[in-house]
Amino acid sequence: MTTSEEAEARQPAPPAGDPDAAAKGPWRRRYERSSVREFVAALGAVDFGDRIILFGAAMLLSVLPLIILLNALASRRVDDDIVEHLGLDARAAKLVEGLFRPSTVAFNLGVFVSLLLALAGTLAVARSVQVIYERTFDLPPAKGATNLVRCLVWVAAVAALFVADGAIGRPIGKAPAGPLLLGVVYFVVLTAFFWWSTHFLLGGREPWRRVWRVALATGLFWIGLGVFAALYFSSTIVSDSRLYGTIGVVFTLVTWFVAMGAVVTLGAVAGVLWQRRHERAGPGDHDS
């Protein structure tokens, strides 16, 4: 008898009277005991598909208009930031630039109302991220005015991160070995940001030592998204523009926003499962 046959022979027999279990093959039983099944089940628990679609929609309808409005007030072009983060080539960059016309906005009542509406939608993004963390850690939803303030603070932190990115991203990217150095800086900054975000949005209900794996996993996924974007989105923008016209560029941006939601969700699920596996493997070395 071979080693694999001996291992299969040692597997516990299916319970008597369970025809479904008896019908399952060895690969099915292995899958049901595997980390892959645990990962898929965890994605289902957080409603992975629904969450990332809602995240992408909220980004398109609220966050992007807010960024455009703020950049117009500051006389900056938002398309430059999009081109840089997507790593677009010259043809795709020209199409994105055609979507965002340069404009200047004077602050008035209409702009103030637009800011309030965009901010309300941005809070929905913050709440969406918070729900992802709550579900992955099996925590009850946070409510009340304190939680609203917490989401507002998180939105302000994200805005500060965008400002800092615009201030240091281009100088570092133009330096020798700039792309590699920029990738390292992004990974360190984003990992630190998501470490704080997870602990903060959960209201301190999970200690720092139990959430750092979520931050590390999310940082890795985010860098992976950057590499994927540089390889994928330039050709996609060009082909979508030919097929659908100008609105095709918007379709590509929606895909990017949905991918952001996927990165946050996958990072949270992978980090929590990593943490649980660590705790199961070392009962005497649990995080407090």
Distance CA 102, CA 38 (A): 48
Q: Where are the domains of the chain?
A: 45-278
What pLDDT does 136 receive?
93
pLDDT of 146 higher than 90: yes
What pLDDT does 110 receive?
64
DSSP symbols for 204-253: TSS-GGGTHHHHHHHHHHHHHHHHHHHHHHHHHHHHHHHHH-THHHHHHH
What pLDDT does 188 receive?
92
Amino acid at 138: D
- Print burial letters for 187-202: b (CB count within 10 Å at least 16), e (below 16): beebbebbbebbbbbb
What does the mean pLDDT of the chain come to?
80
pLDDT of 133 higher than 60: yes
pLDDT of 15 higher than 60: no
What pLDDT does 2 receive?
46
What pLDDT does 264 receive?
95
* Interior angle at CA 265, CA 264 and CA 266, nearest 5: 95
What pLDDT does 154 receive?
93
Residue with tokens 């704080």: 196
| Residue 23 DSSP one-character state | H
The stretch 111-138 carries a mean pLDDT of 84
Between 37-41, 51-55, 63-67, 137-141, the lowest mean confidence (pLDDT) is in 63-67
- pLDDT per residue as tens digits for the range 26-48: 777 676 666 788 888 888 888 99
Residue 150 pLDDT class (50, 70, 90 cuts): very high
What pLDDT does 7 receive?
46
What pLDDT does 85 receive?
78
The percent of residues above 70 in pLDDT, for the chain, comes to 75
- pLDDT per residue as tens digits for the range 66-121: 777 666 655 566 677 778 778 888 888 888 887 776 655 566 666 677 677 777 77
Tell me which long-range contacts 190-197 makes (C-beta under 8 A, separation of at least 24): 190/218, 190/219, 190/222, 190/223, 191/215, 191/216, 191/218, 191/219, 193/157, 193/161, 194/218, 194/219, 194/267, 196/157, 197/129, 197/154, 197/157
Q: What is the pTM of this model?
A: 0.80
